[in-house]
Structure 1
Amino acid sequence: MISLLDYGAGNVRSLRNAVQALGFSLTEIERPEDILKAERLIFPGVGAFGAAMERLHRLGYVEPLKEYLAADRPFLGICIGLQTLFEGSDESPGVAGLGLIPGRIGRFETGALSVPHMGWNDVRVERESPLFADYAGEKLYFVHSYRAAPSAENADWRLATTDYGQPFLSAVQRGNVAAVQFHPEKSGAAGLRLLHRFLGDAQEARSCGPFIQTASTRFAKRIIACLDVRANDAGDLVVTKGDQYDVREAGEVRNLGKPVELAQRYFEEGADEITFLNITAFRDFPLADQPMLEVLRRTSERVFVPLTIGGGIRAFTDGQGRAYSALDVADEYFRSGADKISIGSDAVETVERYLASGGVKDGTSAIEQIARVYGNQAVVISIDPRRVYVSSPDATRHQTVATITPGPGGEGYCWFQCTVKGGREGRDVDAVELARACEDLGAGEILLNSIDRDGTGAGFDLELIRAVSEAVSIPVIASSGAGCVEHFAEVFAATGVEAALAAGIFHRREVPIQAVKSYLREQGIETRL
């Protein structure tokens, strides 16, 4: 009997789907006593250490879980499921972990690297384990801001390490108890194979090897496929694409495919992540948006890489007068298959209040609420800026750049104005201050669009991307303007961003994803095969 310890932390639908895709069935842990009945126990989770431990205590799971682990029974922890095995975490001072492994979880040191560690990396297998039978060095998907450092105290647990600035424990095992920091259910075929080794008869699995690998692991740049989803005039959900955000052509909404089928195609073609941007009318009442929730549910059955959903993630009141918080909305989207939540216009309004208060965080914003429960890595800020040209930096209070593309009046400087409502309305907030404020509020990633470059195929706005990526320590996704493989290499080389996103050129098969990755590798830029 394979049992899933679902305590309400993040997207476990994808894990359920992965287990079922491998031909196994799951039993849900519904009561504390169910833990000790399990024959194999999976403990997944994303989010904050303190929130995870609080839920475990509230549900009465801590003591039976400790008893299960002490008996050396088959156990697989994933992400937070690894971190809670330790004595505590710097993420939540004063909160005790399960205490099975000595030591504390610490935060990554930022330095030149972005935190969270978000994306595809290798693991260095350091001793024999059936979990890594036939592991061929494929990259696996990580998303975390805190890590377990290898030490003399945890040496007997160390199974695999990964480099990100410095080595951290990417897998631990002693006896039948194992845990991994990466997400096998989000790591494509390689992750599914590892998951199968735990679920099947481990005694039949061949050993891995070589066991001691000294080479450094290499973090990959991500290529993300973006699907703008909306209802067309006939009421069907379609993937569309705009030019300067105009999605109509000859009076009709551009129809570039069905969202679930297109997402599956990109997964099979090697996309590292899939992003859905919900631009339907349903976003006014997001919990009534059953079509979009169904898109997530069905996609998570077929696609085993991370899924991001944006559009309408905010507090609202429905037609019956019932109020929902942004966290309520995020909960439903996570439970439907999303791994990350993208916040757009609501982030601009949040930052306007934040700046007006002198930088006071009151805990009420969607960014703070979601990050507190699900962790910083679960919150993406989608910024839609446009250029505003000025004759000199003194002409505005906003941060400017000296631009190589002068304005219509020959202006040599510009700042990047944030917009809301699909780019239709500008605000007195620039992209740099928005990104900095959102990082302070708890966001874990920036999706940086450009209204000026959207749909042009002229290349990414390097000046905008450089200005924002240099201002924050969280990962930045470059978006808008890609027209050829060279543009992807250019943005990675010129700005150092962690990921690049495209839509139309992928939808229309003008530039295949594998062509992008092959070209990047030719240029010496690490990607996931």
Structure 2
Amino acid sequence: MFTLPSRQAAAAEASTSAPRTTSRVPTYGRRTSVACNASGSASREVTLLDYGAGNVRSVRNAIKKLGYTIRDVEKPSDLATADKLVFPGVGSYGQAMRILNQKGLVGPLKDYIASGRPFLGICLGLQLLFEGSEESGGCEGLGIIPGAVTQFDTSLGLPVPHIGWNNIAPTRGSALLDGVGDRRVYYVHSYRATPSAANSDWVLATTQYGGEYVAAVNRGSVSAVQFHPEKSGATGLDILAGFLHPEEAVAARHASSSSPSSSSSSSASHGPHGLAKRVIACLDVRSNDQGDLVVTKMLPAVCMYGTQGDQYDVREKAGGRDVRNLGKPVELAARYFEEGADEVAFLNITGFRDCVMEDTPMLEVLRRASERVFVPLTVGGGIKALTDSSGRSFSAVEVAAEYFRSGADKVSIGSDAVDAAQAYYARGGVPDGSTAIEQISDVYGKQAVVVSIDPRRVYVTDPAAVPHATVRTAKPGPNGEQYCWWQCTVKGGREGRDIGAVELAKAVEALGAGEVLLNCIDNDGVGKGFDLELVDAVSRAVTIPVIASSGAGCPQHFSEVFHSTGAAAALAAGIFHRREVGIEDVKKHLVTENIPTRL
């Protein structure tokens, strides 16, 4: 168990890490004139502490959208000349502290915070301000705020990581949050700091998830938030503006809230408080004959599984005849963001597969989408270790890193996860660090890794006849079978493996996945609803969030899966692409069903 160093020991360590005068130590958060340029006007430059551990492109885009230029910290001395510093911590606690120490940034960072110049930490950038964390086997932090960061209690039955849109409850006034109210913001984390008497003068806002934890801190000009403002839509941009130009931001919020045309932000219009159920828009992306990426779905008539749905063989040469082009991915993703999607997922079904590192079109889609879409972006397709045709080898972490740098917040692993799970069970259920899931989650945190499961229903007359988890089904098989299990598939559904969806989900959770995207071959594109028995079985088997996919045809299907299963989110593609169902229609329906929803 992680034991925090004593406050005295932490103070002694801090005093030896960098020269510091005693007069500066107590001044955390005290504003000085440093934040003005030579002409006396507020600086429009922001210094970004990007230590290279994940996606900070969206932070950059959000800052630029608010009218600021960005200067990167390239060496420790850059912190001494910064006017405003944003620290978007990404990845795991131990990895972040190792990098900060290796780059000689710990002492200069503490000195900057002590100087009273404006500072904003994001997510891990908040957690690192505390004395230490249970994460990474126990690790010391910067020691600026009293208290330890601990893992959410999974015994409470709540999915962990805490992923999605939750309310904030400010404890006092501040330019950062004044006028924001309790609107939902986007979280993605497995560890949290808790309020205490020792850190009460720092706590600015809290959030409820299995108990109260710290959502934001502030003392003077030093602020940090556990959520991701750059991924929290208009509300997040509001909060960033509250840091960058507080007086203007607060005035604009109050003017907006008093406007007759402004929409109500009361909790009643958003359903009950707490973690919202997410509605995710998915885009299947492939190259057309001209080499452009388009969003596609196969026409029902050529569906390969015999149902009148949208399934397709991703390697099949359709020649432009069978594939329906539903739009360019960036424009479509931007439309979904504007319509209220809680997340956007890109599934790259292009048969490039030689080298993801040279998948320039998809990387460019992510770069451009992150300039217009301020909610989380997930990308799947080819996330694995590989060797290209020239003999160059890349680890799974290097492949994922390319996507993260281009704007992805999460990567989705498909067929390779099946191989990893089968190897895991063959070793007796022991992780060995060899899989892409383990390696990526170790560097970027488990919240960055999604596993996409593609199962099909298999009926049996006797559960004892198969070594897989079965359920008694309300939909008997063709010969009256009363039981079924779900066989996992690879290669676009063309090849089945002797492992069930429940067993696969348990294995990938043990290997470090932070979320399961649960498809269903039998229901894909049929529009008759999600496979509730499958979603329920998997969500009961794991403690990580489960995203229901395949089968949505109307708003009622979303409320049905949320009422009947433990799904944390529901995903749809074709019905949104074709405007058969609007995202706003789904959200409004969820409110009428008293399901926590972000509007």
TM-score (norm 1): 0.97
Separation in 2 of the partners of 1:423 and 1:124? 45
Separation in 1 of the partners of 2:484 and 2:186? 37
The residue that corresponds to 1:98 in the other structure is 142
Unaligned runs of 5+ in 1: none
Instruction: Give the 3-state SS of the residue equivalent to 2:140 in structure 1.
Output: coil
The answer to whether the aligner puts 1:8 opposite 2:52 as a matched pair is: yes
Instruction: Give the 3-state SS of the residue equivalent to 2:367 in structure 1.
Output: helix
Separation in 1 of the partners of 2:536 and 2:279? 18
The answer to whether the aligner puts 1:189 opposite 2:234 as a matched pair is: yes
Amino acid at match of 2:202: W
Q: Cα 1:244–1:410, aligned 2, differ >3 Å: closer, same or farther? A: farther
The residue that corresponds to 1:414 in the other structure is 484
Choose from 87, 95, 106 the match for 1:51.
95
Instruction: Give the 3-state SS of the residue equivalent to 2:541 in structure 1.
Output: coil
Choose from 440, 447, 470 the match for 1:370.
440
1:213-264 CA distances to partner (integer Å, 9 max, x unpaired)? 9999421100000000011244321101243522759833211111000000
The answer to whether the aligner puts 1:360 opposite 2:426 as a matched pair is: no
The residue that corresponds to 2:13 in the other structure is none
The answer to whether the aligner puts 1:239 opposite 2:305 as a matched pair is: no
In 1, are the aligned partners of 2:232 and 2:374 still within 8 Å (CA)?
Answer: yes
Amino acid at match of 1:224: I
Amino acid at match of 2:276: A
Separation in 2 of the partners of 1:504 and 1:4? 39
Instruction: Give the 3-state SS of the residue equivalent to 1:30 in structure 2.
Output: coil
Q: What are the residue-to-residue correspondences of 1:209-358 with 2, within 5 Å?
A: 217-242=273-298, 243=309, 245-246=311-312, 251-358=321-428
In 2, are the aligned partners of 1:163 and 1:217 still within 8 Å (CA)?
Answer: no
Choose from 2, 14, 26 the match for 2:70.
26
Q: What are the residue-to-residue correspondences of 1:161-180 with 2, within 5 Å?
A: 161-180=206-225
1:153-208 CA distances to partner (integer Å, 9 max, x unpaired)? 10010100000010100000011110000000000001001101211254884599
The answer to whether the aligner puts 1:481 opposite 2:526 as a matched pair is: no
Q: Cα 1:397–1:174, aligned 2, differ >3 Å: closer, same or farther? A: same
The residue that corresponds to 1:387 in the other structure is 457
In 1, are the aligned partners of 2:540 and 2:566 still within 8 Å (CA)?
Answer: no
Choose from 199, 202, 205 the match for 1:154.
199
1:440-492 CA distances to partner (integer Å, 9 max, x unpaired)? 01100000000000010010000100100000000000000001111101000
Separation in 2 of the partners of 1:403 and 1:124? 43
Higher radius of gyration, 1 or 2 = 2
In 2, are the aligned partners of 1:4 and 1:28 still within 8 Å (CA)?
Answer: yes
Separation in 1 of the partners of 2:337 and 2:246? 29
Name the stretch that deviates more: 41-50 or 88-97: 88-97
The residue that corresponds to 2:566 in the other structure is 496
In 2, are the aligned partners of 1:133 and 1:206 still within 8 Å (CA)?
Answer: no
Q: Cα 1:85–1:273, aligned 2, differ >3 Å: closer, same or farther? A: same
Per-residue deviation, 1:405:
1.4
Percentage of pairs with the same residue = 63
Instruction: Give the 3-state SS of the residue equivalent to 1:309 in structure 2.
Output: strand
Amino acid at match of 2:339: E
Q: Cα 1:332–1:408, aligned 2, differ >3 Å: closer, same or farther? A: same
Separation in 1 of the partners of 2:322 and 2:489? 25
1:411-448 CA distances to partner (integer Å, 9 max, x unpaired)? 11111000000111000111001000100011000000
Amino acid at match of 1:52: A
In 1, are the aligned partners of 2:531 and 2:551 still within 8 Å (CA)?
Answer: yes
The residue that corresponds to 1:526 in the other structure is 596
Amino acid at match of 2:449: V
Q: Cα 1:16–1:191, aligned 2, differ >3 Å: closer, same or farther? A: same
Q: What are the residue-to-residue correspondences of 1:383-462 with 2, within 5 Å?
A: 383-462=453-532
In 1, are the aligned partners of 2:169 and 2:181 still within 8 Å (CA)?
Answer: no
Amino acid at match of 2:179: D
Separation in 2 of the partners of 1:326 and 1:181? 28
The answer to whether the aligner puts 1:145 opposite 2:190 as a matched pair is: yes
Separation in 2 of the partners of 1:158 and 1:265? 36
| Number of equivalent positions | 527
Q: Cα 1:217–1:156, aligned 2, differ >3 Å: closer, same or farther? A: farther
In 2, are the aligned partners of 1:48 and 1:91 still within 8 Å (CA)?
Answer: yes
In 1, are the aligned partners of 2:192 and 2:213 still within 8 Å (CA)?
Answer: yes
Choose from 136, 139, 142 the match for 2:181.
136
In 2, are the aligned partners of 1:116 and 1:444 still within 8 Å (CA)?
Answer: yes
Per-residue deviation, 1:41:
0.2
The answer to whether the aligner puts 1:200 opposite 2:245 as a matched pair is: yes
1:383-432 CA distances to partner (integer Å, 9 max, x unpaired)? 00001111110221111111121222221111100000011100011100
Separation in 2 of the partners of 1:271 and 1:204? 25
Separation in 1 of the partners of 2:252 and 2:94? 36
Instruction: Give the 3-state SS of the residue equivalent to 1:517 in structure 2.
Output: helix
Per-residue deviation, 1:118:
0.3
Choose from 450, 457, 463 the match for 2:533.
463
Separation in 2 of the partners of 1:521 and 1:249? 43
In 1, are the aligned partners of 2:383 and 2:396 still within 8 Å (CA)?
Answer: yes
Separation in 2 of the partners of 1:474 and 1:205? 37
Amino acid at match of 1:306: P
Per-residue deviation, 1:46:
2.1
Amino acid at match of 1:337: G
Instruction: Give the 3-state SS of the residue equivalent to 2:598 in structure 1.
Output: coil
Q: Cα 1:207–1:458, aligned 2, differ >3 Å: closer, same or farther? A: closer
Separation in 2 of the partners of 1:166 and 1:136? 20
Instruction: Give the 3-state SS of the residue equivalent to 1:302 in structure 2.
Output: coil
TM-score (norm 2): 0.86
Instruction: Give the 3-state SS of the residue equivalent to 2:183 in structure 1.
Output: coil
Amino acid at match of 2:78: D
Unaligned runs of 5+ in 2: 1-44, 255-265, 299-308
RMSD, aligned α-carbons: 1.9
Instruction: Give the 3-state SS of the residue equivalent to 1:141 in structure 2.
Output: strand
Separation in 2 of the partners of 1:269 and 1:100? 41
Separation in 1 of the partners of 2:178 and 2:252? 5
Amino acid at match of 2:102: R
The residue that corresponds to 1:122 in the other structure is 167
